[in-house]
A and B are shown apart, each in its own frame.
Chain A
């Protein structure tokens, strides 16, 4: 089983972009998609037996969509309220002896104030982000092609 985990708060405008992506995904066999406000230790229980996991998150750096491979943190240090993706994979290794291969798809966000709508600039990235996630979900091997974004995969 593979997982796509969208992270963010839909009441904080562009922070909710990952939840929008998750809601737009078609069903793909052996891939589960879920949206969460934040990463918590309980997610390790889902990841123990997973093959791959893609985290989708908003970022506040001024660059385009980026897909990156990530590795488990060797010494996870996050708090229970604010685990990073690497910390979560590191905790999964600690608890389960292994962790799935990890990726992060980051989508630029510009407005994180209260509100349920995306900014125009983040909304403009939505289709490309959904397409990138769908490609990742359907991928059995080989490179994920990004449209108008950066691909920093190590594969």
Chain B
């Protein structure tokens, strides 16, 4: 008899999702769907507001990655104003984005996923959290909290508050960096670098080159991310690069504003989350991955010594990597790279400048803002009238771009671990863990108010629900 298993809601992710696993008559996995049942809204209700409100409005999409939306929105505003953003403002926006990468990656790895990795997939679900991590390794937990706090402090010191700072605006930013804050960041940077190097060593000794490295599946796909003109890892500007499963560059230095030429958006009746794909290969063959694994697979180098040494070691295990667990490996390397970039920015005396905003009126009726959010490439595309009133909005967020790959991941893990239709909490947690590796932000990707429960359903061939497991 055919059966269907649903995990609803998926836990320890940002937002609300459920997973359905379809079994055939023999109890083997036939298919799997990662559903996002949240409703979207921001693209619709931003219409009629002004361009200058957009950074603050779109920041409200999410409480975890508001900085990503503020920066993408401000960049789209730059394009509409057709201004050259002052150098200091660009450096400060870069600093803010690097702080965001550090705090968001630290949250994803230490708080949400490390309990699975360090306590075990089959450990007590009640202990698979930051408190369980504390019991297992108090020193690591203390370091993790301080590392995330370091990233948050950069945001707070630049923007005035950690969440939803009204700081980046079309044309620049509205507050410079003070000498005191510059000093604080520089003083605390060495501890942050020490923590991430310690964590990378721990991760590599536990997972790399072990059978655990394949625990979340491995499959080919395309990869996409921004790179600098010379192919160096980039997070704020640069051009789009897309590589295939063999590392062959399919497209390079694409102007991000021309994303519709290469990215199509499909939809399915069973999810509110869109399915972006690489247009030349069609849907769904054009599946690509973004985020830490996407970026590390497309760049030539990080351009900083410690991260480049880690990149060389990462690639010694096969490049590009299609292993889902390597999202975590890449995430840790990116934290190190971000910290090195912060160090470099602090040494640039222009960062303490006070010319931080270019003022202008509406000089273009359309603008695209793109940068690398922690979870992947983020696109804000606005159309305005002569008064700067928003006429249309298109947002393509990282989580949506990983949608096809997340569905494939669920299918891979379920096929590997679910035999004869038998289930255990540990198997369900592996399926969820595969999703968690992508660090999906569903509040962003469907532009909805986020909730975070999880449900699993088992259905018969006639669609009848045979069993349901609900958490949260």
Contacts and interface: CB of A to CB of B under 8 A. Distances in A.
A80 B112 contact: yes
Interface stretch (B142-150, B257-265, B345-353, B390-398): B142-150
Contacts of B184: none
B145 A81 contact: no
A42 interface: yes
Contact of A91 (B12, B111, B131, B148): B131
Interface in A74-132: 75-81, 91, 94-95
A79 to B, nearest CB: 6
Contacts of A95: 134, 138, 141-142, 145
A78 B111 CA distance: 12
A25 interface: no
Interface in A13-56: 37, 41-42, 44-45
B145 A44 contact: yes
Nearest to B14: A81
Given A42-B152, A77-B126, A91 B146 contact: no
A57 B306 CA distance: 44
Interface in B392-431: none
B130 interface: yes
B165 interface: no
Nearest to A114: B449
B107 interface: yes
Contacts of B63: 37
A11 interface: yes
Contacts of B126: 77
Nearest to A75: B131
A77 B112 CA distance: 14
A81 B152 contact: no
Contacts of B141: 95
Given A37-B163, A42-B152, A76 B145 contact: no
B18 interface: no
A94 B135 CA distance: 9
Nearest to B112: A80
B129 interface: yes
Interface string B120-142: 00000010011100100010011
B247 to A, nearest CB: 36
Given A42-B152, A44-B145, A80 B129 contact: yes
Contact of A45 (B60, B134, B145, B452): B145
Nearest to B452: A81
Interface residues of A, number: 16
A91 B134 contact: yes
Contacts of A11: 60
A95 B134 CA distance: 8
Given A45-B146, A80-B112, A94 B107 contact: no
A44 B142 CA distance: 10
Interface in B130-182: 130-131, 134, 138, 141-142, 145-146, 148-149, 152, 163
A42 B149 contact: yes
A41 B129 contact: no
Interface-central residue, B12, B126, B145, by most chain A CB under 10 Å: B145
Interface in B91-136: 107, 111-112, 126, 129-131, 134
Given A37-B163, A80-B112, A81-B452, A94 B145 contact: no
A11 B146 CA distance: 29
B284 to A, nearest CB: 32
A15 to B, nearest CB: 13
Contact of B130 (A37, A45, A75, A80): A80
Contacts of A44: 145
A23 to B, nearest CB: 12
Contact of A42 (B12, B112, B145): B145
A78 B146 CA distance: 19
A81 B16 CA distance: 14
Contacts of A76: 131
A101 B112 CA distance: 29
Nearest to B147: A42
A42 B138 CA distance: 14
A80 B60 contact: no
Contacts of A80: 107, 111-112, 129-130
B129 A79 contact: yes
Contacts of A78: 131
B164 to A, nearest CB: 9
Nearest to A44: B145
Given A80-B107, A95-B142, A42 B148 contact: yes
Contacts of B142: 95
Interface of A: 11, 37, 41-42, 44-45, 75-81, 91, 94-95
9 contacts: A37-B163, A41-B111, A41-B145, A42-B148, A77-B126, A77-B131, A80-B130, A94-B134, A95-B141
Interface of B: 12, 60, 63, 107, 111-112, 126, 129-131, 134, 138, 141-142, 145-146, 148-149, 152, 163, 452
Given A42-B152, A95-B141, 7 more contacts: A41-B145, A44-B145, A91-B134, A94-B131, A94-B138, A95-B142, A95-B145
**Nearest 8 pairs between A and B by C-beta?**
A42-B149, A80-B111, A41-B145, A76-B131, A95-B142, A45-B149, A80-B130, A94-B134
